[in-house]
């Protein structure tokens, strides 16, 4: 009996040990726990050569790269940038063509829908292109990218290649770069590609009858033209126009008023138009007029050279963005005027108010008649000269305004957001040099973001304000505490706080945040190495309901031996009590003794409620930005060292706490 009980007990111990090992393996080996679809999505960002290398990892990985949905082949990556001494260009070309053909024939998966080819040193002959396209027809590709950038000349693309007989090519998206479309100029073709929806042309020599070329795609909805020469095209107007096109983007182009009029007349049902980094010809003071599409609802004009004045005739325009190429201090600035289709000003009194909902201006003369644009919901002003009366008129006339961003604007000493009927929910104010006071009395405001110098803050009746991001360029600890006191006292429902600390002493008394649930703390370069965790623990100790805590450690003082004069001594003041803290994230971690001790204290003080602690060697400079990659030392040795040190200093990490070290 005793022997059987011993055997059962040993079996139970082995089973528990096996379960513990399996649980630990799943924690450490996270990539193998991902589904095949997730792995295919990750591999889709790699080239085909890089993705195929994963086939040697295990049996599971052997065929995953074939299901990524895309094939990306670059001749320099496949054959190497520096060819063998005895290899001729023709041999190099033939070898790459064999690789492409093999991928299309042998390794092609029915799930593959995208083919991306980059040939920068050799150009395929016409018969090679015809053979590739015949293979694509059998494969039912949806997206095709042919990139010949870097080649000594434009690659000739026969017209019959893009419009095969019988409409066998079922492409939905086509992108051509650095090529020459060889289409007969004096004959009209009856061939069409009835499946293409999106067409992108970059550095392409276009035929003169460009409008007929576009009309050969009866379902085309999105057209992007970049760095192409179309100023010599025939000014032809199609009978009834080309109605399927909805989105047109022109980038790095030479545009004339006649060319713009011809395009907009043919694309009569265009909804979105984008002009980016274009040259407006001729370079004189004559205005550029945008008129024609009756359904135009989105217009973006960015950094166009030679543009002095812009006139837009669009009754249904809902989003308008105008960004000047010149800086704020360079005059004259671009002026603009928004008119309706009848070439008259909008008038809300006559029932012809504008439908404009989003307005974005950068380095532009602020000359809009705000009473005529009462439907505005989002306004972004950057490097625009403003006066106090402009904001007053904006708030009093645009009662539907929900988001207002004022960035690097001058001439505004006082910003007052006051109004009983305002719908403003998000307010962003960044680096306005002349601003001295920010006054807010708006009960619907939900999110406030401020970056700049120390100013006077007045917050009244902000009962719905729950998220605040504050960056003040000062190292005066008294000023920082004064701002924190205002937030604690005047924002009764504050739940999320993003705060930047550039320097200063740790104050003796801290305001209490009774409703704060999410705290993000950025420590700047001038925070002393012995005081950075004291700032953090003071916030933790005065936020009793805090659930999520994120800390970006200061890096400059830890890495610079000249600035680091204080020794990393441990402090009993790091103790705090919090029964609701669920998630902790430490960014910019390097694994020194002080940081490890602080991480251990966090685990011990919050272990009753804590569910996850994440330690990351990467860093962030701003909230919402991407996390920068950690240094090589952290990846090679710092990560494992930190994990070992934390486990050695704590008796046992609670099972309920997930410790993640990236």
Give percent above pLDDT 70 in the chain: 79
Alpha carbon distances (Å) from 123 to 135, 153, 164, 178, 543: 18, 9, 21, 11, 65
What is the SS3 assignment for 372? helix
Asked if the peptide bond before residue 332 counts as cis, ω within 30 degrees of 0, the response is yes
Q: Per the confidence metrics, is the pTM higher than 0.85? A: no
Vertex 442, ends 437 and 444: CA angle to 5°?
Answer: 140
330, burial (CB in 10 Å: exposed 0-12, middle 13-18, buried 19+): exposed
Q: Residues with Cβ < 8 Å from 339, sequence gap 6 or more? A: 311, 312, 313, 345, 346
pLDDT score of 399 more than 50: yes
DSSP string for residues in 586-616: EES----HHHHHHHHHHHHHSTTT--EEEEE
Q: Checking phi first, is residue 54 left (phi over 0); if not, alpha (psi -120 to 50) or beta?
A: alpha
pLDDT of residue 190: 55
Mean pLDDT of the chain: 79
What is the number of other CB atoms lying within 10 angstroms of the CB of residue 327?
Answer: 9
- Residue 600 has which token pair? 């251990």
pLDDT of residue 372: 72
Asked if the peptide bond before residue 37 counts as cis, ω within 30 degrees of 0, the response is no
Q: What is the CA radius of gyration of the chain?
A: 31
Query: What's the rounded mean pLDDT across residues 282-299?
Result: 83
pLDDT of residue 349: 43
Domain residue ranges in the chain: 69-235, 246-356, 519-559+571-661
- Residue 455 has which token pair? 């100013």
Alpha carbon distances (Å) from 64 to 50, 108, 231, 299: 13, 12, 47, 42
**Nearest in space to 425 (alpha carbons), one of 383, 467, 384, 455:** 467
pLDDT score of 526 more than 70: no
What whole-number distance in Å separates Cα of residue 291 and Cα of residue 313?
A: 5
Range ranked top by mean pLDDT from 2-11, 108-117, 455-464, 598-607: 455-464
What whole-number distance in Å separates Cα of residue 562 and Cα of residue 364?
A: 45
Summarised one tens digit per residue, pLDDT across range 234-289 is 777 777 678 899 999 999 988 888 889 888 988 989 999 999 999 888 766 788 88
**Nearest in space to 119 (alpha carbons), one of 156, 174, 165:** 156
Between 16-30, 201-215, 363-377, the lowest mean confidence (pLDDT) is in 16-30
pLDDT score of 222 more than 80: yes
What is the SS3 assignment for 481? helix
Give the dihedral of Cα atoms 545, 547, 548, 551; nearest 10 deg.
50
Query: What's the rounded mean pLDDT across residues 593-606?
Result: 82
Summarised one tens digit per residue, pLDDT across range 306-360 is 888 888 888 888 999 998 865 544 445 677 777 776 666 655 444 456 788 999 9
Task: Evaluate whether 132 touches 103 at the Cβ level (below 8 Å).
Answer: no
What whole-number distance in Å separates Cα of residue 589 and Cα of residue 231?
A: 56
Summarised one tens digit per residue, pLDDT across range 485-522 is 999 999 999 999 999 887 667 777 889 999 999 999 98
């Amino acid at each position: 009996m005793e022997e059987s009980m011993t055997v059962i007990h040993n079996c139970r111990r082995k089973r528990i040990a096996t379960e513990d090992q399996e649980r630990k393996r799943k924690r450490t080996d996270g990539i193998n726990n991902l589904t095949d679809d997730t792995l295919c999505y990750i591999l889709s960002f790699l080239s085909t050569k890089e993705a195929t290398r994963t086939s040697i990892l295990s049996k599971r990985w052997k065929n995953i790269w074939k299901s990524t949905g895309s094939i990306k082949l670059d001749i320099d990556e496949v054959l190497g940038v520096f060819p063998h001494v005895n290899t001729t260009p023709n041999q190099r070309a033939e070898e790459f063509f064999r690789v492409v053909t093999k991928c299309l024939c042998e390794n092609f998966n029915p799930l593959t829908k995208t083919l991306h080819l980059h040939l920068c040193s050799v150009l395929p002959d016409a018969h090679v292109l015809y053979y590739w396209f015949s293979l694509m027809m059998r494969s039912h590709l949806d997206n095709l990218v042919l990139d010949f950038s870097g080649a000594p000349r434009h690659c000739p693309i026969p017209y019959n290649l893009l419009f095969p007989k019988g409409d066998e090519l079922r492409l939905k998206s086509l992108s051509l770069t650095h090529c020459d479309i060889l289409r007969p100029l004096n004959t009209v073709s009856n061939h069409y590609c009835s499946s293409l929806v999106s067409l992108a042309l970059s550095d392409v020599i276009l035929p003169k009858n460009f409008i007929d070329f576009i009309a050969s795609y009866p379902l085309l909805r999105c057209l992007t033209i970049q760095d192409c020469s179309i100023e010599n095209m025939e000014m032809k107007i199609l009978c009834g126009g080309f109605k399927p096109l909805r989105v047109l983007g022109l980038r790095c182009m030479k545009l004339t008023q006649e060319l713009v009029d011809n395009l907009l007349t043919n694309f009569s049902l265009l909804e979105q138009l984008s002009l980016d980094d274009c040259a407006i010809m001729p370079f004189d003071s004559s205005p550029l007029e945008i008129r024609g599409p009756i359904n135009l609802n989105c217009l973006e004009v960015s950094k166009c050279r030679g543009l002095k004045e812009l006139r837009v005739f669009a009754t249904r325009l809902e989003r308008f963005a105008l960004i000047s190429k010149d800086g704020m201090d360079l005059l004259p600035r671009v002026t603009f005027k928004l008119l309706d289709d009848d070439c008259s000003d909008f008038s809300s009194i006559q029932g012809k108010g504008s439908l404009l909902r989003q307005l974005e201006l950068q380095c532009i003369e602020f000359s809009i008649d705000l009473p005529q644009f009462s439907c505005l919901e989002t306004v972004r002003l950057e490097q625009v000269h403003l006066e106090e009366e402009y904001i007053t008129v904006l708030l009093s006339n645009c009662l539907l305004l929900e988001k207002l961003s004022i960035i690097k604007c001058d001439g505004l000493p006082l910003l007052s957001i006051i109004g009983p009927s305002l719908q403003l929910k998000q307010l962003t104010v960044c680096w306005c040099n002349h601003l001295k006071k920010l006054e807010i009395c708006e009960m619907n405001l939900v999110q406030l973001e401020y970056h700049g110098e120390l100013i006077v803050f007045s917050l009244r009746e902000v009962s719905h304000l729950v998220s605040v991001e504050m960056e003040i360029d000062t190292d005066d600890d008294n000023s920082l505490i004064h701002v924190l006191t205002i937030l604690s006292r005047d924002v009764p429902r504050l739940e999320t706080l993003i705060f930047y600390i550039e320097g200063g002493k740790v104050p003796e008394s801290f305001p209490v945040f009774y409703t704060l649930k999410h705290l993000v703390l950025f420590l700047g370069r001038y925070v002393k190495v012995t005081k950075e965790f004291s700032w953090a623990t003071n916030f933790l100790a005065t936020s009793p309901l805090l659930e999520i805590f994120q800390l970006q450690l200061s890096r400059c003082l830890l890495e610079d031996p000249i600035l680091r004069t204080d020794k990393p001594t441990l402090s009993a003041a790091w103790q705090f009590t919090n029964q609701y803290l669920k998630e902790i994230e430490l960014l910019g971690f390097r694994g020194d003794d002080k940081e490890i001790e602080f991480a251990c204290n966090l685990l011990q003080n919050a272990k009753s409620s804590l569910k996850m602690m994440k330690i990351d060697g990467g860093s962030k400079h701003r909230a919402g930005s991407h996390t920068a990659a950690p240094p090589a030392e952290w990846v090679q040795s710092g990560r494992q060292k930190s994990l070992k040190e934390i486990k050695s200093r704590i008796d046992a990490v609670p099972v309920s706490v997930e410790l993640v070290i990236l």
